[in-house]
C-alpha cells in the first residue's frame, strides 16, 4: 500500500497504481450529500459499498467482464485491472429523478429520448433509457444525446455500451425490486482491456452510484428519500446550513441510523453481513 502511487480521487474513494496492469480502489467511510463530503465518517460504509460492488460484479460476469481482481482483507480495498476508460458516464434511468427529471420538465426529453407527456417526478419510465453524460473535470457532468456520445466513443462502441448498460440495469433492478428496493437509476463506467474488449469498471449498483429507494415509500409525484441517506437529509434539513462546504458534523444517533441503513441494504440485496 505505502509504495502504491496515488493516481486519483473520487469524493469518497481513492485510486492507487499497484503496477502497470493493476490499480487499488479504496472506499472510505466518508459520506457526501448535496455534493459536499461531511466531516463525520459512517462506520462500515466503505466495506458495505465494496461488498455490494463485489456481489454485483460476480453476478453480472455473464453479461460483461469486469475489472475486479481481488478483494483485500480490510474489506474496503479491491485490486482492479487497469483499463482504458471510456470518456462517458453510462447512466441508465428506469425512473424520472435528478437531472433526468429536470431535463424532462424543461424539454420533454432526456438525452434525446422523447418521453410521454405528463410524467410526474419519480415516475417509472415506459422502459429504461440509456442517458450518457460527459465526464466533467470540474463541476457537474453534462447529459448528452446519442450523437454527442457517438462523437466521443464511436458508433459501434456506443451501441455495445448502450445494450450492455441496459442489460445490467434490467438484471439488477429486477433483482433489487424483488427485495423491496427500487433502483431508480445508475451510473456505470466502462473501459477497454488491452485487446479492446469492453470491461465494466469502477463501482457497480452501490448507493453512491445509483439511486436506491425503499419500494414501500415510493409514489409518483413525490421525491422519495434515498435508501441510505434519509436520516442524514432529515437531520440536515433541521439546520440552516447553506449546503456549501464545509458540511456540519452528524450527531451519533444519525451516524448509527445511517450505518444501519447501509448494512440493511447489503443484507437485503446480498443476504450477508460484512465480516467483522
Ligand atoms: C479509473 N477512475 C475514476 C474512481 C477514484 C477515481 N479499472 C480502471 N482502470 C483505469 N482507470 C480507472 C479504473 C477504474 N475504476 C477510474 N479514474 C480512473 C475513479 C474511483 C476513485 F479516485
Ligand 1: residue of 37, 201, 209 to mutate (most ligand atoms within 8 A of CB) is: 201
Burial state string for 262-275 with b = 16 or more CB within 10 A and e = fewer than 16:
bbbbbeebbeeebe
**Mean pLDDT, residues 52-58:** 98
Question: Is it the case that residue 276 has pLDDT exceeding 80?
Answer: no
Question: Is it the case that residue 31 has pLDDT exceeding 70?
Answer: yes
User: pLDDT category, 3, cuts 50, 70, 90?
Assistant: confident
β-strand partners of 71: 78
CA distance 187 to 28: 19
User: pLDDT category, 117, cuts 50, 70, 90?
Assistant: very high
Of residues 57, 55, 84, 76, the one with CA closest to residue 68: 57
Ligand 1 neighbourhood includes 191 CB (under 6 angstroms): yes
CA distance 214 to 181: 5
Cβ within 8 Å of residue 129, ≥6 positions away: 92, 93, 110, 111, 113
Residue 231 CB: number of other CB atoms within 10 A? Answer: 20
- Terminal CA-to-CA distance of the chain, rounded, Å? 21
User: pLDDT category, 215, cuts 50, 70, 90?
Assistant: very high
**Mean pLDDT, residues 252-274:** 95
CA of 6 to the centre of ligand 1 (A): 11
pLDDT, position 146: 98
What is the value of pTM for the model shown? 0.97
CA distance 30 to 36: 10
DSSP H/E element including 22 = strand 22-27
CA distance 78 to 58: 13
**Mean pLDDT, residues 144-172:** 98
User: pLDDT category, 1, cuts 50, 70, 90?
Assistant: low
Mean pLDDT, all residues of the chain: 96
Ligand 1 neighbourhood includes 187 CB (under 6 angstroms): no
CA dihedral 209, 214, 218, 224 (to 10 degrees): -50
CA of 8 to the centre of ligand 1 (A): 7
CA distance 271 to 268: 6
Cβ within 8 Å of residue 155, ≥6 positions away: none
Amino acid at each position: 500500500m505505502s509504495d502504491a502511487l496515488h493516481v486519483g480521487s473520487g469524493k469518497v474513494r481513492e485510486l492507487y497504481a499497484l503496477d502497470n496492469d493493476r490499480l487499488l480502489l479504496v472506499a472510505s467511510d466518508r459520506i457526501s450529500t448535496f455534493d459536499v463530503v461531511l466531516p463525520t465518517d459512517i462506520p462500515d460504509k466503505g466495506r458495505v459499498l465494496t461488498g455490494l460492488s463485489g456481489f454485483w460484479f460476480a453476478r453480472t460476469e455473464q453479461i460483461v467482464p469486469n475489472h475486479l481482481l481481488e478483494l483485500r482483507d480490510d474489506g474496503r480495498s479491491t485490486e482492479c485491472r487497469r483499463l482504458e476508460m471510456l470518456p462517458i458516464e453510462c447512466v441508465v434511468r428506469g425512473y424520472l429523478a435528478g437531472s433526468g427529471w429536470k431535463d424532462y420538465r424543461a424539454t420533454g426529453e432526456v438525452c434525446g429520448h422523447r418521453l410521454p407527456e405528463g410524467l410526474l417526478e419519480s415516475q417509472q419510465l415506459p422502459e429504461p433509457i440509456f442517458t450518457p453524460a460527459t465526464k466533467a473535470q470540474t463541476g457537474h457532468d453534462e447529459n448528452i444525446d446519442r450523437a454527442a456520445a457517438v462523437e466521443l466513443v464511436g458508433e459501434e462502441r456506443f451501441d455495445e455500451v448502450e445494450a450492455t448498460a441496459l442489460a445490467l440495469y434490467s438484471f439488477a433492478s429486477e433483482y433489487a425490486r424483488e427485495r423491496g428496493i427500487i433502483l431508480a437509476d445508475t451510473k456505470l463506467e466502462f473501459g477497454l482491456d488491452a485487446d479492446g474488449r469492453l470491461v465494466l469498471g469502477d463501482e457497480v449498483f452501490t448507493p453512491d452510484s445509483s439511486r436506491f429507494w425503499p419500494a414501500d415509500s415510493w409514489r409518483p409525484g413525490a421525491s422519495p428519500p434515498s435508501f441510505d441517506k434519509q436520516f442524514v437529509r432529515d437531520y440536515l434539513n433541521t439546520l440552516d446550513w447553506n449546503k456549501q462546504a464545509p458540511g456540519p458534523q452528524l450527531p451519533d444517533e444519525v451516524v448509527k441510523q445511517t450505518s444501519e441503513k447501509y448494512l440493511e441494504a447489503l443484507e437485503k440485496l446480498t443476504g450477508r453481513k460484512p465480516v467483522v
